[in-house]
Structures are given as C-alpha cells and as structure tokens.
Amino acid sequence: MTTAIDIAGPIATAIDRVIEVFDAELRSDLPFVNRLVEHIRTYRGKMLRPKLLLLAGRAAGDLNEQHIVLGAVVEMVHMATLVHDDVLDQADLRRRGPTVNRVLDNQGAVLLGDYLISHAYHLCSSLQSQAASRRIAAVTNTVCEGELMQIEHRGDFELSEAAYFEIIRRKTAALTSVCCELGAAAAEADDDVVERLAAFGLDLGIAFQIVDDLLDLTGTESETGKTVGRDADLRKLTLPLIRFRDQACNDEHRRLMETLTGDDANITARVRSLLARSDAIDYAMDVARSHVQSAVSHLECVPAGEAKDALTTAAEYVLRRRQ
C-alpha cells in the first residue's frame, strides 16, 4: 500500500492550531454529542483541505489568525460532506472504522452533518471580514448542487463526460479550489496569484476525484480504509465506465448494460472484469495526470520555497494514492 505523505512541514504549528480551534468550536455541554464528535475526529485523515489553505497562504505571503480559523472551517465543511456522503452511498466503513450512519442511523448522521455545517458558519462569523464567509457559503451551495446532480444522474447510462466533469467540479473540486483561494486571499496576495492558486486547487480536486472513483472500482477496503464498489452498486457512472461505454463494441456494450441493470450481488466484480479488457482505467488515469500537470503549472505564480514544494508534492501524490 502506498503510504500517505506528510506535506505539513512548512505549516506544522499552524495545523496544530487549526486542530485546537476545530476541537474547541465543536465542544458541547452534552456528553453524548461530545462522544459523536470524538468519533468524527477519526475522519480527519490527511486534513488535506486545511493544509492546502495554509500552504497556499504561506506560498503567497504570511499566515495569520484568519488562516487558522478558515482552516478549521473548511475541515468542518469537508467532514460534513463525508458524513452525508456515507448516508447517500449507504457506506459502512470509513477510515477503517464504522461510519456515523452505522454507529447511529441515517437520521442521526444527517443531523450530525448539519451540526458540523452550522458550527462552520458560526466559526466563520467570528472573522472581521465576511468576504470569506460568503465564499464558503457559495461553495457549500455548489457542493450540494454537485451531490444533487449526481443523485439526479444515478441510473443515467447515457451520462456524458462533460456532465461527469461538471458533477465532480461542483461536489469535490470547488471546495479544494476555494481552500487555495482563501489561503492566498487571507495572505493579501495579488488578485492574479489568488486566481492562479484557486485554479491549482480546482485541477487538483478534479484529479483527486477521478482517482477516488478509480479506487472505488479497483481498490480494496483494506487499502482504502472505506467501503468500495458503491458507485457501480448504485449505478453511478464514473469516468472509466463512461470511457468503456463509449469505446465498446455492440457485444461489450450489451454486457455492460446487462451488468448495470441486473440484480447481481457481485456487480462491481463484473464491472472490473469488463474494464480489465479495455483501456478505460489507463484513460482515466491519463486524464487525472493531465489535471495534475495543469495544477502544478499554476504554481509558477508563487516563489520557490517549502510551501510551493509541498503543494507540488500534494498534487503529484494524488496519482499514487491508494487511500
């Protein structure tokens, strides 16, 4: 298994402070709420989004208290999306432990996700300028639209590549983009630098989601630490399947449709078998690679240094990750 990388070197102290603010904001006078929040802490994982925000800030200038608060805010928003995603995907495993919907039920998980969102906005309101709050709110709306768009297209076996990319741009890449944007803006970077770092985050987020979709098809639960195979089970077309469908001969197309519309309990295994005899996996990885290359090119706007190196490493690691 490819192990996770550590890109926190240039921002190690700041990340520790983000965690402190995160924990303090979610502390409740209700013991059972605190127990649920403790479970949520296992979702932290790599803390990629606050790290991107802090690294973008460091690459563009100096870090300040606004960066710390915003780091905690974007991690709360991200965790809320994970909790809600697990409900939508009927997942049982995340970070090698039970999902919130498994520990509670769907109702409790939805409410806990709402709890995280409400605290994110409460914390964001403490900032003197509300510009960041408006951007966080707008992007959260975009993320929800992306999830709604994905639900709308479940079972849509004619989903186009363009529609797929619009879904992942909204549901994943928009948040990584705004992390980099806010990090640079809080460091009072020039508008061009803010825009280029936002573009870096967008490309990185697109590549991240393509690889995530690939792992759902090709990975194992022991590798990824979460439930896999849910996309095919829920009849969600991702880039490898779209490529296979578009390139398939009549017989292969028929077999794909029979697999996706059937009630076979091993639908993911059958899809994997079909894809193995095509270029679909390699094609999706090539597309992800092109977005990583584009992301790195946007970093030309910032000076050489540890923060720029860490952002480059984070982008390149997306292609190697197995979790």
pLDDT digits (tens, 9 = 90+) for 85-138: 777 777 777 666 778 778 777 888 888 889 999 999 999 999 988 899 999 999
DSSP string, 128-169: S-SHHHHHHHHHHHHHHHHHHHHHHTTT-TT--HHHHHHHHI
| 2: pLDDT strictly greater than 80 | no
Listed by start position, the domains of the chain span 9-317
Which amino acid does the sequence have at 105? D
Question: 5 falls in which pLDDT band (50, 70, 90)?
Answer: low
Q: Which residue has the higher pLDDT, 88 or 304?
A: 304
Return the ∠ at Cα 255 (arms to 254 and 257), rounded to 5°: 65
- pLDDT value of position 83: 85
* Residue-wise pLDDT tens digits, 38-69: 888 877 778 999 999 999 999 999 999 999 99
pLDDT at 224 > cutoff 80: no
pLDDT at 141: 95
* This model's pTM is above 0.85: yes
pLDDT reading at 3 higher than 50: no
Whole-angstrom distance, CA of residue 75 vs CA of residue 95: 16
Backbone angles phi, psi at 96, to 5 degrees: 60, 20
pLDDT at 286: 98
State how far the Cα of 106 lies from the Cα of 222, in Å rounded to an integer: 24
What is the rounded distance in angstroms from the CA atom of residue 207 to the CA atom of residue 299?
Answer: 16
**Is a pLDDT exceeding 60 seen at residue 139?**
yes
Cα three-residue angle 222-90-51, rounded to 5 degrees: 60
| C-alpha distance across the termini of the chain, in Å | 9
- Among 7-11, 203-207, 261-265, 290-294, the range scoring the smallest mean pLDDT is 261-265
- Per-residue pLDDT tens over the stretch 63-100: 999 999 999 999 999 999 888 877 777 777 766 677 87
pLDDT surpassing 80 at residue 18: yes
Mean pLDDT on 235-244 = 93
Helix orientation angle between 65-88 and 12-26, rounded to the nearest 10 degrees: 60
Q: Fold for domain 9-317?
A: Farnesyl Diphosphate Synthase (1.10.600)
